[in-house]
Amino acid sequence: MRLLLSVVVILVIALLGSRLTFLNRRLPLGFKNILFTGAEYIFIGVILGRMGLNLIDARSLNNLEPFIIFGLCWIGFLFGLQFEFRQLKNLPRFYFSISAIQAFITFLIVSFAVYLSFRALFSIPKNTLLIMAITLGSVASCTAQSALAIVSNNYQFENRKLLALLRYISSVDGIFALGFFTIAIWIMPGVNNADFSLARSLRWFILSISLGILSALILITLSKTKFSQQEFLVFLIGTVLFCGGLASKANSSPLVIGFICGTITANFCRHRLRALATIIHSEKSIYIILLIIIGASWSFKLGYIVLITGIYFLTRTIGKVIGTFTATRIFRTEFYTPPALGLGLLSEGGLTIAIIINFKLLYPSLSDYLVTIIILSLFVNELISPKFILYQLKGFKKITKR
């Protein structure tokens, strides 16, 4: 009965939340950005979870695991659908290199700092520390587009090339975040395996890629027949369910396998845009549900973890600034790029949450620390990121309020 009530409450909140918008309200940009990213649903999850009413208890969370797998696979599939290589080639050639260098430097700085911090403050095995540090480094390298969308919605720029560069970086560096996260899982592919085994890791890696390709091939084959819009929706849902089921059976990442499936579909299926429009239509509701679930499962305790959260936030900011500065000096653009341009890339957003939920799914005993770090950091970054974007762009060209 509790599970049924939990499901009904979550679905009602998700359906209502997907139809609400606060973008036209007169609120500070930071608060608009928090509402735009849906971060407030984490607090709703906290109220419904074990730190609140306990409506969504541990047993309910365990029973909701199949939907979590489906939701992660859906988000990964959507993210992969956006990467059609033919379109990427039409963009300025240095943008991808700038994004790669920025993401890699941020990943290295955060991973190293977090590893040393955990090692100094907690008694955790080295292999476990490594996978936790790499996971936090991977989510740190990721940038959300929400703050840039908020800024663009409220201001108009005479020269939009710098903003276009920030948008490109924020849309592409998620590839590197997923790549780094895949490395983390590759080190220890399994909940109970504490020791690294190259043979086991290679089997897991090959199997994960094969499952993503297999799922995409099934969808591409089905899409070659005549079908209605309703039938195409069934094809998409069925493919994502199949993909998530394979990931669950292989003890692999539904987010990564979904991304592989989406990327293959984007480049080899002629109905890519139709699939993208269909997937996006339901993405917000699924994302809200995942936010509620992570809030309900959150176990926050004061202690050294707050200090590590501060270290993560500080090193991520430093990594973004140093990474972007280094990249834009190696690959110079035709327009001026401010030295602290990386401050315009602080927003974290949806993919960060998805990676942490995926980590929690695979390594539940290790996840409480990481969930706390990401949730606290996310609220701070979403609050301050619009102002930092304006600060970078304001000195470049005159900004006029819409």
Banded model confidence at residue 21, pLDDT cuts 50, 70, 90: low
Domain hosting 240: range is: 28-56+64-401
Helices (H) and strands (E) in the chain, counts: 17, 2
The C-alpha atoms of residue 99 and residue 104 are separated, in whole angstroms, by 9
Q: What is the mean pLDDT of residues 382-394?
A: 85
Classify residue 19: in a domain, yes or no: no
Q: Which of 18-32, 152-166, 247-261 is predicted with the least confidence, judged by mean pLDDT?
A: 18-32
Non-local CB neighbours of 88 within 8 Å, separated by 6+ positions:
96
Q: With 80 as the cut, is the pLDDT of residue 282 above it?
A: no
Classify residue 8: in a domain, yes or no: no
Provide the whole-model pTM.
Answer: 0.88
- Exposure pattern of 132-169 as b/e (b: 16+ CB <10 Å)? bbbbbbbbbbbbbbbbbbbbbeebebeeeebbbbbbbb
CATH number at residue 79: 1.20.1530.20
Runs of H (alpha helix) within 250-271: 254-268
Nearest 10 degrees: CA dihedral of 103, 108, 112, 117?
-10
Classify residue 193: in a domain, yes or no: yes
The C-alpha atoms of residue 191 and residue 364 are separated, in whole angstroms, by 8
Tokens representing residue 113 in the block:
């700092």
Instruction: Summarize pLDDT for 351-373 with one digit per residue, the tens.
Output: 898 999 998 888 887 788 899 99
Classify residue 2: in a domain, yes or no: no
Classify residue 153: in a domain, yes or no: yes
Classify residue 15: in a domain, yes or no: no
Classify residue 285: in a domain, yes or no: yes
Tell me how many domains the chain contains: 1
The C-alpha atoms of residue 290 and residue 113 are separated, in whole angstroms, by 29
Banded model confidence at residue 24, pLDDT cuts 50, 70, 90: low
Task: Give the per-residue pLDDT at 25.
Answer: 59
Instruction: Summarize pLDDT for 326-350 with one digit per residue, the tens.
Output: 999 998 888 888 889 999 999 987 8
Classify residue 16: in a domain, yes or no: no
From 327, 401, 335, 358, select the one nearest 101 (Cα to Cα).
Answer: 327
Instruction: Summarize pLDDT for 66-88 with one digit per residue, the tens.
Output: 889 999 999 999 888 888 777 76
Q: With 90 as the cut, is the pLDDT of residue 310 above it?
A: yes
